[in-house]
Amino acid sequence: MNYTTQMDAARKGIITEAMKIVAIKEGKTVEKIMALVAEGKVAIPANKNHKSLSPEGVGKGLRTKINVNLGISKDCCDCEKELDKVRTALEMKAEAIMDLSNYGKTAEMRKTIVEMSTAMIGTVPIYDALGYYDKDLKDLTAREFLDVVEKHGQDGVDFVTIHAGLNREAVETVKRNKRLTNVVSRGGSLLFAWMEMNNAENPFFEYYDELLDICAKYDITLSLGDALRPGSINDASDASQIKELITLGELTKRAWEKNVQVIIEGPGHMALNEIEANMIMQKRLCHGAPFYVLGPLVTDIAPGYDHITSAIGGAIAATYGADFLCYVTPAEHLRLPNLEDMKEGIIASKIAAHSADIAKGVKGAREWDNEMSKARAEIDWEKMFDLAIDPEKARRYRAESKPHDEESCSMCGKMCSMRTMKKILNGEELIIND
């Protein structure tokens, strides 16, 4: 039996190879995965042309996934450095990589990443449009916007961020409701500018059915971008954000009618006390579609530490319904992240995702922590290192400050509580001063 997309297959009762792989990774039956994909509550981004992909599921009841952003720009156009980031992200087991390249040999870069990556690959096609056509923004045509999406589909991209919810009504909402930070989405601001300069509707909204046909052709998952996401905690939960979210919910249903998988993108900056309500509202308005959050950053005053502000928000967001976290690095708002920045961002996001998985009762999450606790109680350093989310750093920190007693660490020495209790409960004599 033939099928066009993972959703089409699921609705026809066809179990795909991707569904089998996701079921094994998640410890669920393939029938359960198939049912969730059919409902749209789980997406499996898997372009037919991405041959090296090891599929992942994103959505209800599954492990919280993380995405890593990278790519070349005019100011930082060293392709090899960005490919080093790809290799490192794969080694660190990031489930998704977004190539945000917008300068130079973008097509070559994109094809190379797709060929080498077992992780799902995402892009924001509008970033590529300006360089691809070598035109000013105002002179791009609606057809050209769509053709770039098709090119990314041909190249094997698994999911594309498309700001289709930024229609003329949303633009007027932004104008009527003053924000501190206006439109902070790069793709959203470009579309906003194009619409204003041409006095025209957003091509991705006006020709949405054609966009869906392209997505169905290659089985591209449509990541409906939040062009009007808040770029400051002051702008969170405002009229512009909610107006766009309502439209994204309507666009989700239209996509599902054509068997196109959907992920909804969510807020970037948001105070702690607003996150839970936003997650519930998103799931309600967008019919349970998987939710992808860009942070959210819970305070705006920590440049250089936004991997931390993001991890705090991401853990809360994922606890209350977000399924997919976009990593944020210490370089956020400051510069293009280097390799070390990327590593820190990945670790922070993985900690947030895992913390939420414990809260959500995801299979195997709490067991990992329990194994670490047992290793600590037994003072089994090698096992602790093996279980650590960042084994290299854990080993390095211990090696940098060797204790007198190998059982303990240099902070507590022989007064280590774990050492004390292990010896006493084993009936051994406890000697501290020798």
Q: Is 227 annotated as a binding residue?
A: yes
Q: Is 228 annotated as a binding residue?
A: yes
Q: Is 273 annotated as a binding residue?
A: no
Q: Is 215 annotated as a binding residue?
A: no
If pLDDT is split at 50, 70 and 90, which confidence band does 434 have? low
Q: Which residue has the higher pLDDT, 338 or 430?
A: 338
Q: Is 50 annotated as a binding residue?
A: no
Asked whether the predicted pLDDT for residue 194 surpasses 90, the reply is yes
As a whole number, mean pLDDT of residues 13-33 equals: 98
Cis amide bond preceding 296, omega within 30: yes
Rounded distance between C-alpha atoms, residue 341 and residue 17, angstroms: 35
Q: Which residue has the higher pLDDT, 419 or 87?
A: 87
Q: Is 223 annotated as a binding residue?
A: no
pLDDT digits (tens, 9 = 90+) for 296-326: 999 999 999 999 999 999 999 999 999 999 9
Rounded distance between C-alpha atoms, residue 99 and residue 69, angstroms: 6
Percent of the chain at pLDDT > 90 equals: 85
Q: Is 77 annotated as a binding residue?
A: no
Asked whether the predicted pLDDT for residue 419 surpasses 90, the reply is no
Q: Is 63 annotated as a binding residue?
A: no
- What pLDDT does 141 receive? 97
If pLDDT is split at 50, 70 and 90, which confidence band does 102 have? confident
Rounded distance between C-alpha atoms, residue 389 and residue 326, angstroms: 18
pLDDT digits (tens, 9 = 90+) for 125-136: 999 998 888 889
Rounded distance between C-alpha atoms, residue 29 and residue 22, angstroms: 9
Lowest mean pLDDT among 93-107, 237-251, 259-273, 333-347: 93-107
Q: Is 133 annotated as a binding residue?
A: no
- What pLDDT does 79 receive? 87
pLDDT digits (tens, 9 = 90+) for 31-47: 999 999 999 999 999 99
Q: Is 417 annotated as a binding residue?
A: no
* Backbone phi and psi for residue 294, each to the nearest 5 degrees, phi listed first: -100, 70
**Would you give the distance in Å from CA 27 to the centre of its chain?**
21
Q: Is 335 annotated as a binding residue?
A: no
Q: Is 207 annotated as a binding residue?
A: no
Q: Is 292 annotated as a binding residue?
A: yes
Does the domain made of 6-360 have the CATH classification 3.40.50.720?
A: no
- What pLDDT does 421 receive? 83
Per domain, the residue ranges of the chain are 6-360, 365-425
Q: Is 401 annotated as a binding residue?
A: no
Listed in sequence order, the residues at least 6 apart from 337 whose beta carbon sits closer than 8 Å to its beta carbon are 70, 329, 330, 331, 345
- What pLDDT does 234 receive? 98
- Strand 120-123 versus strand 96-99 pairing type: parallel
pLDDT digits (tens, 9 = 90+) for 231-290: 999 999 999 999 999 999 999 999 999 999 999 999 999 999 999 999 999 999 999 999
